[in-house]
Amino acid sequence: MSKLLIASNNPGKIREYRSLLQGYTFELVTPEQLNISLKVDETGNSYAENAIIKANAYAQASGYPTLADDSGLEVDLLNGLPGIYSARFSPNKNADDADRRKRLLEQLKNKPRPWLAHFHCSIAIVHPGKKVHFSEGICNGEIIPEERGFLGFGYDPIFFLPQRGCTMAELTLQEKNQLSHRGLAIQAAKPILDRLNKNLDY
């Protein structure tokens, strides 16, 4: 059985990928399972650049095909912020998801609603010495001032989906996978994942 390394130590992200990639025969492994500990500086100027930086670093360290993503929340009234800085948006060095949500709402509190926003995900899949494959997904919605739901992570509790009448954190994992930025990026990556699943060269 071939392996695919998910280049992340984020439990919520890993849980989503395990769900999204059900049905494939390759074995999903994590850096923790392979005893790989890397500090990868995300110095890119775009989601795609950061995804390839992470994918290359973990592929070289493991020798396995590697999937990495960079994702973020972009708010229209903040000119696209927090964007690629979504995970580093709070000035608090030890900030958690709640701190980042609080910081975002502080930035928006005096601005007119609706606070239109979208999630963006760029995925890079790479095997050492071979071509890099990219895919992307975008999920549109708006930010709301009160947190709702406990099923997501990151900015999910304040990301409202008007077409569903709920936040991302109020969706089950299966529902989220159908419309989330990460789910759509995986759908776009299906051709390369299918080849990897069949142990075909890519």
Per-residue pLDDT of 176-201, as tens digits, reads 999 999 999 999 999 989 888 777 55
Inside any domain, residue 202:
no
Which residue range(s) make up the domain with 74? 3-197
Residues classed as catalytic: 70
Closest CA to 83 of 42, 38, 111: 42
Question: Which residues, other chains included, contact 90 with Cβ-Cβ below 8 Å and sequence gap of 6+?
Answer: 99, 100, 102, 103
Per-residue pLDDT of 6-48, as tens digits, reads 999 989 899 999 999 998 988 999 999 999 989 888 888 999 9
Q: What is the 3-state secondary structure (H, E, C) of 116-154?
A: EEEEEEEEEEECCCCCCEEEEEEEEEEECCCCCCCCCCC
**67 close to 124: Cβ distance less than 8 angstroms:** yes
Inside any domain, residue 183:
yes
Return the SS3 of 111. Answer: coil
**48 close to 56: Cβ distance less than 8 angstroms:** no
Q: Residue 45 is part of a domain; what is its CATH number?
A: 3.90.950.10
Encoded tokens for 57: 């670093």
Among the ranges given (103-107, 114-118, 194-198), the one the predictor scored with the smallest mean pLDDT: 194-198
**How many independent structural domains does the chain possess?**
1
Question: From the centroid of its chain, how far is CA 2?
Answer: 23
Per-residue pLDDT of 124-136, as tens digits, reads 999 877 789 999 9
